[in-house]
Structure 1
Amino acid sequence: MTPSPTTTTTPTTIPALLEHSAREFGGHTYLITPDERLTYQEAEQRSAVAARWLLREGVGKGTRVGLFFANGVDWVIWWLAASRIGALAVPLSTMYTPAELAKVVRLADIGLLVAPDRVLTVDVAERLEAALPGLVDQQTGALVLGTAPYLRRIAITGDTDRRWATRYDEAATASVPPAVLAAVEAEVSAADLAVMVHTSGSAADPKGVIHTHGTLVRQTATWPAAVRVVTGWDGATRVLCAMPFFWVGGLLAVTGALHEPTTVLVLPRLDAETALDMVERERVTGVVGWPAFTQRLREHSTFGRRDLSSAPLLREGPLDIAMTDVPDGYPVHRTMSETAGGFAHTDIAIIGDDGTPVDSGVVGELRIRGVGVMVGYNKRERWETFDEDGWYHTGDLVYRNDGDPRLFYVGRTSELIKAGGANVSPLEVEAVIADFADVTQCIVVGIEDPVRGEEVCAVIVPADTELDVASLASRAREQLSAYKVPTRWAIAASDQIPTLQSGKLNRRALRDLVVDGVLTSVSS
């Protein structure tokens, strides 16, 4: 059964957790980037200033605040600021194309979007104007856009000359005394909504997974201990997080590190040489990321001559940290968006095809419920997400062994593609490519890949006999994040697309035609 939440000694809101960390180990370094460092005390002080500015701008409990930042200090400051006043933080992927960004801003009902003037090489103002038609003609603080009907302000933290932009001014926080912020924080409860993380699902639109403060805080409490286990290091933890903060893996790291003095190192862009420089210089004890990035580190020309003695598993351990000390060759189940990254306060059932629990060592579908599970999906009723007994059916195939609390991941019951650690919805990719004039039909399937887990493969029925795969890939990249763009393409005639007796598409059979070479495929 799920442990009673009343028995925990951990603070149950983000503001309370931040106050605890600043008081107990405030001088410890919390975050390191290639050019910045942030202590817990500094995180508390700087986020207080940003939180008071948000209050001055009318942001309060329940306001949906979009965060469009690369991994770094600013992301942490504004996430903490929004969380401290009870706003619902909505991290936005910096990999979004304009079309994807517009979709999520609308779906999430974002009221205020906060962003710098640049994200890596992206001019943020230009990206937003491309995403939101009509924005260029809007005025500061009074946005009225049919494509994003709840969006009222876009705050730019850097320099900008756009008339529609609200400018962040630290001096303006003087009108909101610290005592008011303290009073606001005291009203934030464990039951209040804290964060909405978007993940691809079985539908074409991304799903907004919503967590309360209580769930997010409880589920991340075991992260520091888990990192020590998978890195094999018992001392002070200094971990390089190679996962974006706008997905659950990165959110788990930045929240988990608030529980214990833990230093998280991040890069705004995943670059192998910069990462190795940081590992060596900062004496990193381990790397948390997907196998593909670890492989890039090991393949770097300087890897062999680096002093990586502080992180022995980076050199000698398995490519995938989820494969650390596994008994049967299957990885430990990784984090889930729907449980905020952990299973500590989660009821777990592993159910077989007959609808009953399976025995130890037997594979079944993972079902979860309890205080460690999401409130639900944005804009979906509870009955659409949970069954009548409160269980969420994950679609993950797992098993457990007697005496071992870990879940071992075997695969998915659904057709969701897991490419390089990211969920890719076939329907979303198909909707984009099928709209091309030279494409009659597009079916997307996942093909097993030794590095990325699965490769996104598009099977195309062309409108003409001649089809330029390079052109298809180029056009897809204009509307889809890079990890969603197919890296393998197969051409088929319409009568080669297999169907079930019901007339529905048989994706498994289609995947087999590609794998077996019946349908010739090429890489892009």
Structure 2
Amino acid sequence: MELPDLGFRPTIGAALTRAAAEFGDVDYVVTNTDRITYAQAERRSALLARRLLAHGVGKGTRVGLFYPNGTDWVLWWLAASRIGALVVPFSTLYAPGELAKGLRLGDVHLLIAPSRAVSVDFAVFLEDALPGLATNAGTQIAVREAPYLRQIWITGGTDRRWAHAVDFTDSVEDVVPQEILSAVEAEVCPADPAVMIHTSGSTADPKGVIHSHGVLMRQSAFLSGTMNGFAPPGLPTRYLSAMPFFWIGGILHVTGSLHSPLTILTLARTEPGAALELLERERGTGIAGWPTLTQRMLAHPDFSRRDLSSCPSLVDLPADLSLVAVPGNVPRHRSLTESGGGFSTTDVLVVDDTGEPVPAGSEGELWIRGPGIMLGYNKREPWEVFDADGWFHTGDRVFVLDDEPGIFYVGRSTELIKTSGANVSPKEVESVLDRHPSVQSSLVVGVGDGDRGQEVVAVVVPADPGTFDADQVSVDIRRDLSAYKVPRRWIVVTADDLPLLTSGKPDRRELTRRIEAGLIADGR
């Protein structure tokens, strides 16, 4: 496989240096309260990197970040990455126990956080997560709940004796010389681990997916072409990143925007009204995020009064970008976790239950290998993750077509609905429902049924709750779906009723549990 030539050494630090030199005066990250250019990001992260080095942080040190989307997250991520530390970002939606588990599983040495993260008082939150912390004698941390944790840095001020207070000023105290930083950066290579992303929702303990600098830089190169394609002629590309930076989708945005001048618009909490305001004010040209947010923006009362002429894709294209220019009703595979991005530097195989390749058009399990996938799972040996030939068995049900680029995603093996002996892909049903004018968004799940094994249930956010007619929708979608795929039960909800994973994706397992427990009632 021939790897793409990016024009620079594929490390985050090298990409930042190039970006600052070639388009340094362009905005890199813009929020509703702050903004930084590429040049400012390079200069300010260099100072933070020198401070990290002075405190013993270096190649391989595991640095946890507990920040919402914003310039502070990006600056610390750049600072740690350019000296070769392994960044472990944590969800700001975590409960205290979840953060404690993440610190322990990730063997985090240094945790960096603001005094407040969205609405969370972090000092109180962390003392709840780590009960031994409040009695810690000083800034050298030693707590049983996270045995590798040695330092906690807090920005924005703190009175806790266990915390080391830091800021973003240009002070040269407590830092190593610039020439040491330059020498360190020269030793960071594409093979070095860059980030550990904890997955959510499938196991009792989240798996830590580790990606190298090379994978992140090569797999994020697609972003330029995608987001530039949505920008109207003559306008600079400024897109709303509606994926959390602590998840791989958001990391690909902040990494991908180092390839070319792509201004990221983002919010600490992506609320539809605030997103519309930011898009209008900054003349945003596109959106990169889950379709549920786009659908909520379209339904928001402010939508009609905002000048969004700079962002025609908000109304002209499907809310789910994986449905752009696809044949039929099945979306293209997003491939964001194990592969880090797309499949441009990844070998792909679609196989049956025996591991034999299936012909084009036939459904099978997706296997991947090659330089474009993860290094592996944290605390798992390679043989536990990859087979003897190097293939990673994703568990995703997909198919490919002759003369069609991409891989078409049917669902997870564990998501497929088995009803009366037939398999039903929730994604296929959802793609049909979401095109219906009465439906704003939908989720389809399988609920236990004594006669059929599972019953196909549609949970729908209607375009107009007062006029939604499930019986009519059932009739209409039979034009595109076999009878056994048509939902037998319909549940009408608001977008806020849908449970979400910490990644921002819908939590199908929790939704199914609520339906089976009678916590969500039928709406027809």
User: TM class by shorter-chain length?
Assistant: 0.7 to 0.9
The gaps in structure 2 that reach 5 residues or longer are 418-425, 431-454, 463-498
Following the alignment from structure 1 to structure 2, what is the Cα–Cα distance between the partners of residues 395 and 489? 22
Contact 1:240 1:287 in 2 (8 A): yes
Contact 2:59 2:84 in 1 (8 A): yes
User: Aligned in 2, Cα 1:187/1:328: closer, same or farther, shift over 3 Å?
Assistant: same
2:447 matched residue in structure 1: none
1:409 matched residue in structure 2: 409
Percentage identity across paired residues of the two chains: 51
1:486 matched residue in structure 2: 510
User: Aligned in 2, Cα 1:244/1:118: closer, same or farther, shift over 3 Å?
Assistant: same
2:114 matched residue in structure 1: 116
| Equivalent runs, 1:116-265 vs 2, <5 Å | 116-168=114-166, 170=169, 171=171, 173=173, 175-200=175-200, 202-229=202-229, 236-265=236-265
Following the alignment from structure 2 to structure 1, what is the Cα–Cα distance between the partners of residues 503 and 285? 35
Per the normalisation by structure 1, the TM-score is 0.80
User: Aligned in 2, Cα 1:27/1:127: closer, same or farther, shift over 3 Å?
Assistant: same
Secondary structure at 2:197 match in 1: strand
Following the alignment from structure 1 to structure 2, what is the Cα–Cα distance between the partners of residues 363 and 229? 31
1:67 matched residue in structure 2: 65
Per the normalisation by structure 2, the TM-score is 0.80
Contact 2:346 2:369 in 1 (8 A): yes
User: Aligned in 2, Cα 1:173/1:233: closer, same or farther, shift over 3 Å?
Assistant: farther
Secondary structure at 2:520 match in 1: strand
Following the alignment from structure 1 to structure 2, what is the Cα–Cα distance between the partners of residues 36 and 403? 46
Following the alignment from structure 2 to structure 1, what is the Cα–Cα distance between the partners of residues 79 and 53? 10
User: Aligned in 2, Cα 1:340/1:448: closer, same or farther, shift over 3 Å?
Assistant: farther
Contact 1:350 1:366 in 2 (8 A): yes
Secondary structure at 2:158 match in 1: coil
1:98 matched residue in structure 2: 96
Following the alignment from structure 1 to structure 2, what is the Cα–Cα distance between the partners of residues 233 and 446? 44
2:437 matched residue in structure 1: none
User: Aligned in 2, Cα 1:202/1:100: closer, same or farther, shift over 3 Å?
Assistant: same
1:17 pairs with 2:41: no
Following the alignment from structure 2 to structure 1, what is the Cα–Cα distance between the partners of residues 384 and 340? 20
Shift of 1:480: 12
Please tell me the residue identity of whatever aligns with 1:134. Answer: G
Please tell me the residue identity of whatever aligns with 1:158. Answer: G
Secondary structure at 1:296 match in 2: helix
Shift of 1:319: 2.2
Please tell me the residue identity of whatever aligns with 2:316. Answer: E
Contact 1:15 1:83 in 2 (8 A): yes
| Equivalent runs, 1:125-524 vs 2, <5 Å | 125-168=123-166, 170=169, 171=171, 173=173, 175-200=175-200, 202-229=202-229, 236-415=236-415, 449-450=459-460, 486-487=510-511, 489=513, 522=520
2:27 matched residue in structure 1: 29
Please tell me the residue identity of whatever aligns with 1:221. Answer: A
Following the alignment from structure 1 to structure 2, what is the Cα–Cα distance between the partners of residues 82 and 450? 43
Shift of 1:221: 1.2
Following the alignment from structure 2 to structure 1, what is the Cα–Cα distance between the partners of residues 390 and 280? 47
Shift of 1:299: 0.8
Provide, for residues 169-191 of structure 1, a one-character-per-residue CA deviation record: whole Å limited to 9, x for no partner. Answer: 55354641111110110111111
Following the alignment from structure 2 to structure 1, what is the Cα–Cα distance between the partners of residues 110 and 273? 36
Secondary structure at 1:240 match in 2: strand
Following the alignment from structure 2 to structure 1, what is the Cα–Cα distance between the partners of residues 246 and 117? 14
Following the alignment from structure 1 to structure 2, what is the Cα–Cα distance between the partners of residues 446 and 10? 50
Secondary structure at 1:136 match in 2: coil
User: Aligned in 2, Cα 1:256/1:450: closer, same or farther, shift over 3 Å?
Assistant: farther
Shift of 1:8: 4.8
User: Aligned in 2, Cα 1:24/1:451: closer, same or farther, shift over 3 Å?
Assistant: farther
Following the alignment from structure 2 to structure 1, what is the Cα–Cα distance between the partners of residues 231 and 399? 23
Contact 1:97 1:480 in 2 (8 A): no
RMSD (Å), alpha carbons: 3.0
1:462 matched residue in structure 2: none
Following the alignment from structure 2 to structure 1, what is the Cα–Cα distance between the partners of residues 521 and 244? 27
Secondary structure at 2:134 match in 1: helix
1:470 matched residue in structure 2: none
Following the alignment from structure 2 to structure 1, what is the Cα–Cα distance between the partners of residues 342 and 173? 36
Secondary structure at 2:510 match in 1: coil
2:445 matched residue in structure 1: none
Q: Structure 1 residues 257-266 or 307-316, which shifts more?
A: 307-316
Contact 2:53 2:175 in 1 (8 A): no
Shift of 1:414: 2.8
